[in-house]
Amino acid sequence: MLAYLIIGYDVVLRALKNIFKGEVFDENFLMTIATVGAFAIGEHPEAVAVMLFYQIGEFFQDYAVSRSKKSIADLMDIRPDYANLKINDEVLVFSPEEVEIDDIIVIKPGERIPLDAVVTEGTSSVDTSALTGESLPRSVKAGDEILSGSININSVIEARVIRKYKESTVSRILDLVENAASKKSKSEKFITRFARYYTPAVVAMAAILAFAVPMVSGGSFSQWISRALIFLVISCPCALVISVPLSFFGGIGGASRRGILIKGSNYLESLAMTEIVVFDKTGTLTKGVFEVHGVKPSRNPGSANISGEELLEFAAYAENYSNHPISVSLKKAYGNTIDRKRIGTVEEIAGHGVKAMVDGKTVYAGNNRLMEIFEIGFDSEDIAGTVVHVAINGRYAGHIMISDELKDDSIATIEELKKSGIKKTVILTGDSKSAADSAANLLGADQVYSELLPGDKVDKIEELMKDLSTKGKLVFVGDGINDAPVLARSDIGIAMGGLGSDAAIEAADVVIMTDEPFKVIDAIKISKKTLGIAKQNIIFALAIKALVMILGAAGLANMWAAVFADVGVTFIAVINSMRALVYEDK
C-alpha cells in the first residue's frame, strides 16, 4: 500500500479533485478505480505495477507533447527582446513596446529587427525566413521597409519606426498563431464530444462486466471484476484527446514555418476538401507592376484630335490622386512633375475609372464601361492587355495600352492544382475581356470572368459554389486589399503578400506572407497531410483499444496489455502527431 501511495498519490488526488469539480469520467478516475479495485480483489502487485507503468508512460507522453509544443514555439520564436533606440546620438536599450512611431532604431548584425520600420541609413541583408519561409536573404537600403521578426545579417543599419509594437508584423503573427487553437476543426470537436459520452459508457460496460455477467453466467466475481478493471484501463481516451488536437497544432506550426498563417484548425481541415480554386488576377497571378507599352490617339471623325503626348498627359493628370497600380504606371510613363493647380474636382467611378477637371476640361479616364456610362463612342480593339480609354469634354481622345507580367510560378501553380485533383481553376478580374482571356490562356485556367466589380465577384463565387459536392470547398486567392468581400464569402479566403497588409490579415482565413501563388499548393498539401495524420491516430487508437478490450473481456489480456493499450498507444499517437510539424516539397 505504501508503494502504491508513493507512486500514485497524485493520480488519486487529481481524480478526487475532479470529482468535486463535477469532472468525474477522466483518465485519473479510470486509473484510480482500476488500481483500487485491483487492491480490493487482492491483486496488490498488479495494482502497484499498473500505476508505476502508467506514471512512466505519462512521463514519456508529457515529454513528447512538450517537445512537440516546443518545436512549434521554436518555429515561431520571432518575438524581439529589445530595441536599440537612438536619442541625441546616444543609443539606449528599450523594450519594443516603449518605442514610438518615427523614433530611430539601430539594428546591429545578428540582431532581430524589433519593429516595422523604414531604413534611413546603411545597407545590409535581412533574413526573413521566420516570417516568409524563404531561405534567401533580402538586400535592403535607405528607403526600404524592414519587418519586425526578421534578422539583420551583415551591417549596422538605422531605421525609422512606422508601426507601434502592438501593430507590428511580428505581434500580429504571434497573436494569429496563438489564437488559432481556439478555432477547432470538426475532427477536434468530434473527439471532444466522443470523449464526453465514451468514458461514461465504458464505465457502465465495466460495471456490467464486473457484476451483471457473473450473476447471469454464474462465474467468479473476482475473475470478472479483474477483467472489468483491465477493461477500464484500456478504455482511457487520452490517445485521442491529446494526439488529434496536437496534429492540427503541429500542422498550423509547420505551415507558419513556411510563411503560411492559418487562422484555425477548422480552416486547415477545410483546405483538405478543396474542389475549386478561384484567383484574382492582378497582383495575385500577375506581378501587379504595370507598364505603358502603347499610346494611340484617336483619329476618328468627331474625336478630340490630340497628340499621343497630350493623351498621356491628360490621363496622368486625371489619375493623379489615385494610388492604383494602373494610375501609377500612367504617371510614371508621363514622367513630368504634375502641377496640381491644373486639376479641379475629381470623381472616382468605382470599378470603372475617374472623371476629373483638368485645365477646365472634363476628362474621363477608365475602362470600356466608363465610356458606356457617359455614352462616349470608343475604339474597341482586341488588345491583349489592360486598356485605359480617355475622353475630353465628351469626345473620345484615344486609348493607352498597359501590360502586366505573370508571376514566375503562376503557370506552375495552375498545373500543379490540376495534377492534385482540383476540380476547377477560375480567374476573376476587373480587367478587359481581351486581357483576361489572354492571361487565362497562358495560365491554362478552366474558366475566366472579366470586367467584374467587387460585387460581381461575390455573385460569381456564389454561382461557382453550386458546382461543389456536399463536402467540397471553394478557395478564393486574392491580394487581401481590394477583395475583402470575396475573401469573406468564400469557404476559405487566402490573402497573398500579407507582409504589412492589415486588410489581408483581417479579411482572410489564411495569409500567405509572400506573393508566391505556389504556396497555395503547399497550404493544401499541409492540410491533407495533417488531416491524414489525425485520421491515422483516430483509427489506430480505436482499433487497438477495441481489440484489447475484447481480449480483456474474454480474459485473454492482462494488465500489461491494458497499460500498452492506454499509455503505449497514446505515446505512439503523439509521436505520429509530431510529423505534422514537418513538410517537405516533393
User: Quick check: is 69 in a domain?
Assistant: no
- Residue of higher predicted confidence among 313 and 248: 313
Residue type, 183: K
pLDDT score for 70:
63
Burial annotation 246-280 (CB, 10 A radius, 16+ → b, else e): bbbbbbbbbbbbbbbbbbbbbbbbbbbbbbbbbbb
Number of domains in the chain: 3
Q: By the 8 A CB rule, do 545 and 494 touch?
A: no
Q: Taking the model in full, what pTM does it have?
A: 0.74
- Residue of higher predicted confidence among 253 and 65: 253
Least confident among 206-215, 408-417, 455-464, 553-562 = 553-562
Q: Band of the pLDDT at 67, cuts 50, 70, 90? A: low
Q: 420 with 384, same domain?
A: no
Domain span at 460: 266-286+406-527
Q: What percent of the chain has pLDDT over 70?
A: 89
Q: 369 with 450, same domain?
A: no
506, pLDDT greater than 80: no
pLDDT digits (tens, 9 = 90+) for 145-171: 998 888 999 899 999 999 999 888 777
500, pLDDT greater than 50: no
Q: 272 with 413, same domain?
A: yes
Q: Domain ends where: 152, 167, 182?
A: 167
CA torsion, points 482, 138, 72, 83, in degrees to nearest 10? -100
User: Quick check: is 156 in a domain?
Assistant: yes
pLDDT score for 554:
80
User: Quick check: is 417 in a domain?
Assistant: yes
**Residues classed as catalytic:** 280
**DSSP helix, strand, coil percent of the chain (3-state; round to 5):** 50, 20, 30
Q: 273 with 143, same domain?
A: no
Q: 301 with 347, same domain?
A: yes
Helix (H, G, I), strand (E, B) or coil at 523: helix
pLDDT score for 187:
78
What is the average per-residue pLDDT within 392-415?
92
456, pLDDT greater than 80: yes
Q: Domain ends where: 507, 527, 547?
A: 527
Q: 373 with 425, same domain?
A: no
Q: 392 with 448, same domain?
A: no
457, pLDDT greater than 90: no
User: Quick check: is 109 in a domain?
Assistant: yes
pLDDT score for 349:
87
Query: Which CATH number is 90's domain given?
Result: 2.70.150.10
pLDDT score for 68:
58
Q: 334 with 477, same domain?
A: no
Q: 279 with 414, same domain?
A: yes
Q: Is 379 left (phi over 0), alpha (psi -120 to 50) or beta?
A: beta
pLDDT score for 232:
77
What is the average per-residue pLDDT within 257-272?
88
Q: 281 with 150, same domain?
A: no
User: Quick check: is 546 in a domain?
Assistant: no
- On average, the pLDDT of the chain sits at 84
Q: 422 with 520, same domain?
A: yes
What is the average per-residue pLDDT within 347-360?
90
Q: 430 with 397, same domain?
A: no
What is the average per-residue pLDDT within 248-274?
87
pLDDT score for 64:
60
